Structure 1
Amino acid sequence: MAIKLQAGKLGGMAVKVLAKAGFFAALLKFWKFIALAFTGAVSFIWKKLGRRKDDEKTVKDVAASTNADT
């Protein structure tokens, strides 16, 4: 009984090792696409959360300039 139990544990461990190897093989195969997607996501978030440029005018700036002109 103990021999079968230990063999089952070793078999389960082998399956886990093969699953991890498959995961890393997929990472190695598609690393360029993963890096490109990550870069695009970071760029999108950076643009949305980043500071506004000085040349962009907000609605308040436009309203203030039209009120000052009249």
Structure 2
Amino acid sequence: MISESEKKALLDQLKNKWQQRYRQYQSLSVMIDTPPKISHKLWLEKEMEDIEKDINLLEGFDYIYVAN
């Protein structure tokens, strides 16, 4: 089981990572018209979605057990 301090530290790291990705997402150009730009936008959206799922998972449970 992870301690409350470990859980808080992990949540803080995930939220910081989400903020970084969000800043990158906000700095994308308005016209996303090339395949690399489209790919990068989709990657950022997927990353943010995955991080949000992890945050919700950690916040949704009082106790989290980690198997060895």
- TM-score for the superposition, normalised by structure 1: 0.43
If the length of structure 2 is used for normalisation, what is the TM-score? 0.44
* Larger relative helix fraction: 1
Larger radius of gyration between Structure 1 and Structure 2: 1
